[in-house]
Amino acid sequence: MGVSCWSNCCVFRKKCARRCGSLALYLTLHTHLRKGIMEENCCCGLLTVNKEPVPLKGVDVEVTVRDHVATVAATLLYENKEQSPIEAIFVFPLPSDAAVCHFSAKIGQSEVVAEVREKQKAREEYDDALSSGQQAFLLEESEQSPDMFSLSVGSLPPGESASIRLEYVTELAVQADDSLRFCLPAVLNPRYQPQGSDGTSGTISCGPDTSVPASLVPYSLSLSASVCSPRRITKVESNCSLDPVQYLNQQQTQATVKLASGHKFDRDVELLLYYKDSHLPTAVVEVGCESAKSGTLMGDPVVMLSLYPEFPPAVMSSMTKSGEFLFVIDRSGSMDCSMGSAGCCIFSTYSLETLLLLLKSLPVGCYFNIYSFGSTYTHIFPKSVVYSQKTMDEALKVIEGMGADMGGTEILEPLKHIFKQPCIPSQPRQLFVFTDGEVCNTTAVIDVVKRNSGSHRCFSFGIGEGASTALIKGLAKEGRGHAQFITGADRMQSKVMQSLRFALQPAVVDISVTWDVPAGVSVTTLSQPITNLFQGQRSLIYAQLTGQGSGDAEGCVTVKYSLADHPTQNQLKFSLKPTEDTGLTAHRLGARALIRSLEVEAKEHGDQSDPVKAKEKVIEVSVQSGVSSSLTAFIAVNKGNGEAVQGPLLRRNVPAPSLSALEDEDIYNQASQAPRDPMLQLISLQRASGSWLLQSTLAAVLGKTLKDVESTKPTSVSPEVWATVLAVIWLHGFKKDAQVEWEFLAMKAVSWLHGEKVPCMTECVEAGNILLGCQVQESSMGM
C-alpha cells in the first residue's frame, strides 16, 4: 500500500475509532498504521528506539503556588524536520484532580486558542480539519482514567515549529510530615488490561502506544516554581536535584526554585513545601469573571475553604483496639522496580519490612488477613483470624517468601472476594491497598469500593513512579480513607503508620456542612459531600455565592459530625470581601469539583431511562468554565491563510518515559547488600503481646552481650519484663526521630507492662538507662 493510501486510510480509520468513543481503539489503530507508514518512509532527525523521528523537542513548565493551590503552565515545543507533514500524538499523565483550563498553539506569529467542545464534536472537527489540510490541535482526557491525557498536533508542515501551551490548576496534598506535595507526573507506565475485560487474556495495553526507557527520552524538561504563602516558607525539598531556593522577601513568604538542568525523566518531579503554622484554616473569596453572566458559576464569586478539623483530646487519646485489618499487596512483576532509579522499590526490602511493621503494630485481639494479587490472588488464611502470637508467626513465615512474582495487575477480583466476606461484628473493616496502580480498569475498581463503602474504610498507597493518581486517590475517596504516594527515597513506613493511626481513630459519621450568610446571599456547594475526616488533615470546600452582601459582611461555615458517639463541630468565619489577585483559580477548581460530582451522577443514572440530562450538565459546566471533563475536549483549528497543507500525513508517536528494570539493576544490588536497620531488627523480635524475650539477638541490637544484659537485670523483675523495658528505652533514646513508625508497638509494650503490675518500674527504668547510656524519663515512656 502506498503512502498516500495509508494517509487517507489513517484519517478514515481515526474517525471510525473516535466516533465509537474509544481512545484505546484509536491508539491501537494508530499503532498498526504507524508500522505500515514506516515501511514506506525513511527517518531523519531525532529518533526513538523504533527509528521514528520525534517532533517534540522540549517541555518547559512554570509552576505558581499560592498557599495550597498550584497553577501549572506547560509549554511543549514541536518541530517537524521531515519532508512530509506529520501528526504527532503524545499520551501523558496529569494529576487526576487537576483542572485543565487553557490550551493554545502558536505557529510562527499566529496563535490559536482552543475552545472546549463536546468530545465527539471536537474529535470530528479535528478529523475534518486534517482531511482538508488544515492544522488542528486536540487535547482530551482518557476515557479509561482521568489522569491520562492525549495531545494531538495535526498537519504540522515540513520545517515548521509549533509551541503548545496547556495550563491546569491543582490542589496540593498534605503529607505525613505536614508538608504540601506538588507532583509533576513525568513517568507514564503501561497500564495492565485485566483478563476478559476486552476479550484478551491479560495484556499491557492502556498506556502510551510508544514508550522508551526513561534514560532514552529524546526531549528535555525544564521546571521553575514560584511559591507565595501568607505564612513563612520554612523549606523546599524535592526528589530531584534543585538549584538553591531563592527567597524574595525578608519574611520568606515568597520564593523561587528551579529544577537543576539534566533531568533524566526517570521519576516524577516532586516538590515538598513546608510552611510555618500550615494547619491554620483559610478562606479565599474570588470575584467572578466580568464577561460572565451574573448568576452563573463563572459570573458569581466562589469561596474556597481550607479546613483542618480538630478532634476532642479525650476521644483521640482512646484509640480503638478492635478491627478487621486486611492488607492487599500488589505482587505483580512491575512492583519489583516501581520506584525507578531514584530508589528502586525492591519488593523484599521495602514492602515486606512495611508489612512487618504493620503486623507488629496491630492491637491485641483484632482480626487480620493478608491478600496478594497479580494475575491471580491468594490469601494467607481462608478468612480473617484473631491476631495472636501463633497467627502472627504464620503470617510472617509466608511474608518471608513473598516476591513480585505474580504476573499482571488484577486488583478487581481480590477486592470483590473481600467484599463478599461477611463483616465481623464489632470489628470495623479497614482495608490497606498497596499497588503501583498500573491498571486500565480504574473506574471498575473504584466503583466496587464505592458500592461497599458502608462496610469498610480504604487506605491506599501508590508505590513508585507513574502510580495512577486516579486509582490511588479514588480508592481512598470512595472508601472514606486516606491516600499516600511513596516514591524515590521516601521512607514508606512513616506514611503507612500515619494511615494506621487514621484507621485506629474512631470513624467519623453523620458529616454535614451548613452555611450562615447575610440576607440576600445564597450558597451553592460545588464540592461532593465530605465523606471522611481525620485529625489534622485538610478538607477543601468550594461554593458559589449568589447575590449581594455589604462590603464588610461575614459568612460562616459549620462542619458537624459524630465521633465516637460525641457530637462535634468545627466552624470557620470568613469575610465576603473578595481576595485580591487570585485570578480564577478557585472558580476553576470549583468547576472541576462540580464536574466530578456530575460525572458520578451521570454514571450512577446510566442504567435509567434518561441519563442524558446529567451528561448534558457536565458538558454545560465544562464548556462554560473552560475546564476539561471526561465528556469534552479542547479543540483548536488554525485556518491560517486558507491554503491546505500538501502531502501525505505521517503519524508520529511521541514516546512517553517508562521505567526499565535495567536502569535499576545497580540500585537493586546496593539495596540487597545494605545492612538491615537495627530498629527493624528490634521490631521483628517483638511478640504479638507487645513484649520481648531476653535473648542474644535482642542484646545484639541493643549493642550489648547477653551476659551484660542478664547481669544488670534488677532481681525483682522477670527476664521478659526487663527485655521489654530495655527495648522501649532504646526506641525512645536512639530512634526518637522515627517515633511515628514505632509509636503503636511501643504503646502495646507499655500496655503489656502495665498488665504485669511491675512493683519496681522506676528502679527498672533507671537500671535500663544506665546500661544503655540513655536518659529517658519514665513519664515520657507512658509508664
The whole-number pLDDT of residue 336 equals 65
The whole-number pLDDT of residue 235 equals 93
Work out the mean pLDDT of the chain and round it to a whole number: 83
In this structure, the answer to whether residues 657 and 701 fall within a common structural domain is no
Q: Quick one: cell of 387?
A: 491476631
In this structure, the answer to whether residues 205 and 252 fall within a common structural domain is yes
* Digit-coded pLDDT (tens) for 501-541: 888 887 788 899 999 999 889 999 999 888 888 877 888 89
> Is the separation of the CB atoms in 199 and 446 below 8 Å?
no
The whole-number pLDDT of residue 371 equals 96
In this structure, the answer to whether residues 591 and 642 fall within a common structural domain is no
Residue 245 has pLDDT above 80, yes or no: yes
> Is the separation of the CB atoms in 399 and 391 below 8 Å?
no
Lowest mean pLDDT among 120-124, 300-304, 337-341: 337-341
HSE (side-chain half, CA atoms, 13 Å) at 481: 34
C-alpha distances in Å from residue 266, one per residue of 210, 530, 700 = 16, 36, 39
Asked if the structure places residue 405 within a domain, the reply is yes
> Is the separation of the CB atoms in 41 and 3 below 8 Å?
yes
* Digit-coded pLDDT (tens) for 694-751: 999 999 999 999 999 999 999 989 999 999 999 999 999 999 988 988 999 999 999 9
C-alpha distances in Å from residue 331, one per residue of 8, 345, 357, 409, 464 = 45, 12, 18, 8, 13
In this structure, the answer to whether residues 454 and 380 fall within a common structural domain is yes
CA angle 58, 61, 64 (to 5 degrees): 170
The whole-number pLDDT of residue 318 equals 64
* Digit-coded pLDDT (tens) for 566-603: 888 888 999 898 877 668 999 999 999 999 888 877 77
In this structure, the answer to whether residues 758 and 642 fall within a common structural domain is no
Selection from 272, 229, 281, 236 nearest residue 251 by Cα: 229
Asked if the structure places residue 49 within a domain, the reply is yes
Mean pLDDT of 265-274: 88
Q: Which helix (H) or strand (E) holds 182?
A: strand 180-184
The whole-number pLDDT of residue 670 equals 42
C-alpha distances in Å from residue 483, one per residue of 189, 248, 467, 601, 624 = 20, 33, 12, 23, 31
Asked if the structure places residue 503 within a domain, the reply is no
- Give residue 657's pLDDT band: very low, low, confident or very high (50, 70, 90): confident
- Give residue 192's pLDDT band: very low, low, confident or very high (50, 70, 90): low
Q: Quick one: cell of 332?
A: 505483580
In this structure, the answer to whether residues 366 and 288 fall within a common structural domain is no
Selection from 755, 774, 758 nearest residue 766 by Cα: 774
Asked if the structure places residue 729 within a domain, the reply is yes
Give pTM, 2 decimals: 0.81
Q: What per-residue string of b and e applies to 639-659 under the rule 16 or more CB within 10 Å gives b?
A: eeeeeebebbbbbbbbbbbbb
Residue found by looking up cell 483521640 in the block: 316
- Chain centroid to Cα 81, Å, comes to 37
* Digit-coded pLDDT (tens) for 663-698: 454 434 444 444 568 998 999 999 999 999 999 999
In this structure, the answer to whether residues 657 and 565 fall within a common structural domain is no
CA angle 431, 435, 437 (to 5 degrees): 120
Structure-model confidence comparison of residues 442 and 593, the more confident one: 593
The whole-number pLDDT of residue 99 equals 93
Cα separation, 275 vs 288, in Å, equals: 29
- Give residue 146's pLDDT band: very low, low, confident or very high (50, 70, 90): confident
Structure-model confidence comparison of residues 319 and 266, the more confident one: 266
The CATH number of the domain holding residue 354 is: 3.40.50.410
The whole-number pLDDT of residue 563 equals 82
Residue found by looking up cell 485506629 in the block: 504
161-171 and 99-107 strand pairing:
antiparallel
> Is the separation of the CB atoms in 148 and 659 below 8 Å?
no
Residue 1 has pLDDT above 90, yes or no: no
Range of the domain at 729: 675-781
The whole-number pLDDT of residue 490 equals 66
The whole-number pLDDT of residue 322 equals 84
Length of the chain: 783
In this structure, the answer to whether residues 101 and 210 fall within a common structural domain is yes
pLDDT exceeding 90 applies to what percent of the chain? 49
- How many other C-beta atoms lie within 10 A of the C-beta of residue 428? 19
Mean pLDDT of 650-660: 79
Asked if the structure places residue 723 within a domain, the reply is yes
In this structure, the answer to whether residues 230 and 373 fall within a common structural domain is no
In this structure, the answer to whether residues 592 and 538 fall within a common structural domain is yes
Mean pLDDT of 109-136: 94
The whole-number pLDDT of residue 263 equals 81
* Digit-coded pLDDT (tens) for 14-57: 444 443 344 443 433 333 333 333 233 333 334 444 566 889 99
Residue 544 has pLDDT above 90, yes or no: yes
> Is the separation of the CB atoms in 214 and 223 below 8 Å?
no
Structural domain count, the chain: 4
Mean pLDDT of 529-555: 84
In this structure, the answer to whether residues 272 and 300 fall within a common structural domain is no
Domain boundary among 608, 639, 661: 661
Structure-model confidence comparison of residues 408 and 82, the more confident one: 82
The whole-number pLDDT of residue 532 equals 81
In sequence order, what DSSP letters do the residues of 334-403 get, joined into one string?
GGGGTTGGGS---TTTTHHHHHHHHHHHSPTT-EEEEEEESSSEEESSSS-EE--HHHHHHHHHHHHT--
Residue found by looking up cell 499520551 in the block: 91
In this structure, the answer to whether residues 209 and 134 fall within a common structural domain is yes
Asked if the structure places residue 473 within a domain, the reply is no
* Digit-coded pLDDT (tens) for 4-13: 333 333 443 3
Residue 771 has pLDDT above 70, yes or no: yes
Structure-model confidence comparison of residues 226 and 440, the more confident one: 226
Asked if the structure places residue 531 within a domain, the reply is yes
The CATH number of the domain holding residue 292 is: 2.60.40
Asked if the structure places residue 477 within a domain, the reply is no
Cα separation, 134 vs 122, in Å, equals: 15
Cα separation, 523 vs 753, in Å, equals: 55
Structure-model confidence comparison of residues 778 and 338, the more confident one: 778
Residue 543 has pLDDT above 90, yes or no: yes
Cα separation, 190 vs 374, in Å, equals: 15
- Chain centroid to Cα 782, Å, comes to 36
Structure-model confidence comparison of residues 643 and 360, the more confident one: 360
* Digit-coded pLDDT (tens) for 443-481: 889 999 999 988 899 999 988 777 888 899 999 999 989
